[in-house]
Amino acid sequence: MAATRVMITAAAATTTQPTSCFLSKRAFLLPAKTSCDGALSFFNRRAALVLKSNSKRPFSCTAIYNPQTKVQEEGQSETLDYRVFFLDGSGKKVSPWHDIPLTLGDGVFNFIVEIPKESKAKMEVATDEDFTPIKQDTKKGKLRYYPYNINWNYGLLPQTWEDPTQANSEVEGAFGDNDPVDVVEIGEAQRKIGEVLKIKPLAALAMIDEGELDWKIVAISLDDPKAHLVNDVDDVEKHFPGTLTAIRDWFRDYKIPDGKPANRFGLGDKPANKDYALKIIHETNESWAKLVKRSVDAGDLSLF
């Protein structure tokens, strides 16, 4: 029988909190127990629109107004069956990609850890499975590993999507990679798979992987001892010297041991600043909103 383990990953909601499921110019202040009917509409995710097509689940605000989540591990780690599901406060499965809010207001965002630092199992949200659990990536039926440890906590920004039908004129006309936006969190602590952290973005790297644009947002968890020292790309170089170059080089070279060419980087091979990172987050959140409204073709992606 598959092993199951449940762990709480985020603190309970406070009485009033900034939250929105669509990244606007400001976060809406909504009471923790406000119903969907009383909320501002349009991109209040799942608030008033029942999806047609093959989706069986309507829009709802459950996870938005109760950000406490738990992770439930099913199966044994480093096996094909291993999954890390997310549960809301009532024990129901929710999607880490779709149901955990992106923005918390005041430049703070949620970040979901897929790969803890100093590990090399290639974990990722299963974007084509119901409730999009975290699993270990596979190739030709075999579990995938990086050739060496990743030196930072790595994961995704919820409620973002890199649209594979949209070319980015600023990055060699590359199209999105059909995944949520990746985050490289540079704090000192090794985090756990499925942990939800509050982060602030600091920089962005425009990685081009086999012709696809695969953004890397460099960020730091707010609870890191150095978080108060870094607010933009120049601060990273000052307080974490060499880190931005190390991140770029790691992602450029990690496929070479498997006989593949090195990845490339746009924007002059340099990290963009915080404002540019925020622009990327905003644009990919807009793309995600179109995806879940079915304004664009979802293909094999799970929308619940």
* 179, 153 contact by CB (below 8 A): no
Please name every residue paired with 83 in a beta bridge, in sequence order, or none if there are none. 74
Burial degree of 189 (CB within 10 A; 0-12, 13-18, 19+): middle
For residue 197, how many other CB atoms are within 10 A of its CB? 24
Catalytic residue, candidates 146, 148, 254, 276:
146
Are β-strands 142-143 and 145-150 bridged in parallel, bridged antiparallel, or unpaired? unpaired
Give the CA dihedral 222, 133, 204, 274, nearest 10 degrees: -40
Q: Which residue is listed with tokens 């005041």?
A: 106
Contact by Cβ (8 Å): 177, 245? no
- Does the active-site annotation cover 254? no
**Catalytic machinery residues:** 146
